[in-house]
Chain A
């Protein structure tokens, strides 16, 4: 009987010792941050490695389970196993290291990410052997058609700033406007100040009208295309100037015109006076107009008379 108790204890001890070395982690890598929410749709994006600095754009509007698949055909001497891992925004994702098998002459890394909020957006990279990398830029659609030069308006006038989401990209849910205040952005609520601001939204286009401009209204304005996941921003600079700005070159030009006209008329008058005195010295047939009108005519004509 004692022997069977010893055997039992010994077996239990053996079990405990061997159990200590059992790795409870599963062979699959742990997915980054959150547990997959099965109710989200799944979006699959694939990319095959083509060369250095490869960037794939992923445009998302709503929360999804994003599956990213990277394939690589490998070097000349293909090893059967290589390591691969994932990075987000340049930082390695924990526990994402994988051993990748060579299948059908290529290596494949895949991973499912939960994209539910703004912090899930960013630059995801799959990396093979720390050297071969494909970047996935996961973002909401960016505003492409936006004015890069400043909008110039005058004090007291009204200014218009427009933002447009191209037809090729999905429509935003709504638009919002912000004014830059130092490094912050303040949202503009048109309802709060209807005399000053007016926002006209039209699916793909949005217009901000600012009435009764003052110098303080100069600065950067941000239009935000609001999607469920995040808001994509574009910025336009508004410059408010006074009427004195264009008035200065204008007055310069008017002065130049005035000087030219005066010079021309004076020159003509002096020429005609000179010819008048010449003409008076000779007998002339015609004694017509006012001195101002006289020009070189009579002088030359009287010269002609003398020759003929």
Chain B
């Protein structure tokens, strides 16, 4: 646990906490990095697959919707856009509710809402019913599920955070493989109405996942919560803003990081939308193009797990690893059109595999860097705000690349611009304080416990981790 002399460092805790964890935590909740944490990883695996894996496979329904509602494909595609936008928009709300109450209730409610949205959608008679049910209601549910579960899992781990997240996020790719044929079967057997009803039931499985979150002890809380009594508008607003962690928006490290991730998101999704079309454009057959996409998806899954395992070995700082993966992904995106220009299928396949690996690798690390910047107890709100802000980038990136394709006639410009956005994101992250040092900076100073310390997840998270700042809080 001594500070190392070389650039390889363990996590923050080892470096700055000379004492063994057990001693400092007299009322340590659980063993971090093990036991119940892995159960929660399983719960996150299931809920992530039911949120994002499900969202990705909704394309199967679109053909049915186009035929039944007699609408254009563009109008139908707004359903999933609304769902994704709602999930990201309501993330801060989910985070705030967890800060105010507890994560278990929030996630279980989110699961109920997600299921309810799909169940109601099965009764739709007009297209806008689908926007409201599958889009808004389910999206709200998904928003209440994802960020809280990610934050809870991260709070249960210290050394193996990235591996835990990597394993859990691999569910997105794996479940897309499983859900596509499953949804096809459901639609063939029960038509889209019955299939949506059954999917709503499946989504309800998020509720037991949420039930696995153990509510934390609120021992320290009662003393502190009294400081924030009264329901005057000012104090209510202040409480809400602290639940939402809005103060983060004024802190340079967080804003810098969020900006970098937003830039990353502009270019990140472009290959998902355009790779198949680009391959066809380059002259490859439908099967070859689809296979390239599937191969990239498979290497994405592998990348998430390997990156998770590798990051936790501790040879490099997480922020450096993130920069490396992001830069590589950006480079490979830029190489994608150039490799197929030469007409070689194997070159396209190799670059796509490498791109898939790097893009999967960076997703494992993106979330884990957040508590290193803002500290563990503000992680929940920070993740919520991050989701919200980065959602704008996704909305910008795809239309921009489509526009470039329409203007130039091929996808070369779109991919190069997308890759350059990723590199731009890396450069932005390079402006983070202490970026070029070999060790992680000390975590940010704890907020004063006098003003807005609340019960709920704050103290729960303190118990769960052993960052030194929360140590000091315990002794207070």
Contacts and interface: CB of A to CB of B under 8 A. Distances in A.
B27 A286 contact: yes
A268 B215 CA distance: 10
Nearest to B190: A246
A261 B207 contact: yes
A308 B190 contact: no
A288 B30 contact: no
Interface size for chain B: under 10, 10 to 19, 20 to 34, or 35 or more residues?
A: 35 or more
Contacts of A305: 26
Given A160-B67, A257-B207, A264-B211, A297 B190 contact: no
Contact of B201 (A254, A261, A268, A308): A254
Interface string B1-39: 000000000000000000000110111111000000000
Contact of A250 (B26, B198, B216, B222): B198
Interface in B147-202: 188-191, 193-195, 197-198, 200-202
A268 B212 CA distance: 9
B280 interface: no
B98 to A, nearest CB: 16
B207 A286 contact: no
A146 interface: no
Interface of chain B, helix or strand or loop or mixed?
Answer: helix
A135 interface: no
A69 interface: no
A294 B130 CA distance: 42
B214 interface: yes
Given A152-B188, A305-B26, A308-B26, A245 B217 contact: no
Contacts of A286: 27, 217, 219
B201 A289 contact: no
Contacts of A151: 191
Contacts of B194: 152, 154, 241, 243, 245-246
A199 to B, nearest CB: 14
A285 interface: yes
A250 B215 CA distance: 30
A293 B215 contact: yes
B457 interface: no
B253 interface: no
A294 B195 CA distance: 40
A257 B46 CA distance: 13
A154 B191 contact: yes
B208 A260 contact: yes
Interface string A264-304: 11001000000000000000011011000111111011001
A21 interface: no
Contact of B205 (A149, A257, A265, A298): A257
A160 B68 contact: yes
B56 interface: no
Contacts of B193: 154, 157, 246
A27 interface: no
A254 B205 CA distance: 8
B218 interface: yes
B204 interface: yes
A108 B315 CA distance: 83
A288 B218 contact: yes
Contacts of A51: none
A162 B68 CA distance: 11
Nearest to A263: B208
Contact of B188 (A149, A249, A304): A149
B289 to A, nearest CB: 22
B27 A250 contact: no
Contacts of A160: 67-68, 70
A153 interface: yes
A304 B26 contact: yes
A215 interface: no
Interface residues of A, number: 39
A30 B463 CA distance: 103
Nearest to A284: B27
B208 A288 contact: no
A15 interface: no
A254 B211 CA distance: 15
Nearest to A251: B201
Contacts of B197: 246-247, 250
Contact of A152 (B25, B191, B215, B218): B191
A286 B205 CA distance: 35
A250 B195 CA distance: 10
Contacts of B218: 288-289
Given A152-B190, A301-B27, A246 B208 contact: no
A135 B360 CA distance: 57
Contacts of A253: 198, 201-202, 204-205
B208 A264 contact: yes
Nearest to B188: A149
Contacts of B212: 264
A296 B30 contact: yes
Contacts of A289: 217-218
B204 A254 contact: yes
A297 B208 contact: no
* Residue from B108, B198, B200 whose CB has the most chain A CB atoms within 10 Å: B198
A134 to B, nearest CB: 32
Interface string A49-68: 00000000000000000000
Contacts of B25: 304
* Residue from A253, A265, A298 whose CB has the most chain B CB atoms within 10 Å: A253
Interface in A150-192: 151-154, 157, 160, 162
Nearest to A161: B67
B323 to A, nearest CB: 38
Given A246-B198, A257-B207, A260-B208, A152 B189 contact: yes
A295 B213 CA distance: 11
A304 B24 CA distance: 11
A296 B205 CA distance: 25
A149 B67 CA distance: 15
Nearest to A147: B67
B172 to A, nearest CB: 21
A12 to B, nearest CB: 83
Given A160-B68, A245-B194, A297-B216, A285 B201 contact: no
A204 to B, nearest CB: 16
Nearest to B112: A257
B201 A250 contact: yes
Contacts of A153: 191
A85 B188 CA distance: 50
B208 A301 contact: no
Interface of A: 149, 151-154, 157, 160, 162, 241, 243, 245-247, 249-250, 253-254, 256-257, 260-261, 264-265, 268, 285-286, 288-289, 293-298, 300-301, 304-305, 308
10 contacts: A149-B188, A154-B194, A247-B197, A257-B207, A264-B208, A286-B27, A286-B219, A288-B217, A288-B222, A304-B28
The 8 A-B pairs at the shortest CB distance, nearest first, are namely A246-B194, A253-B201, A260-B208, A152-B191, A246-B190, A264-B211, A250-B201, A286-B219
Given A249-B198, A308-B26, 9 more contacts: A152-B190, A162-B67, A241-B194, A245-B194, A250-B197, A257-B208, A293-B215, A295-B215, A304-B26
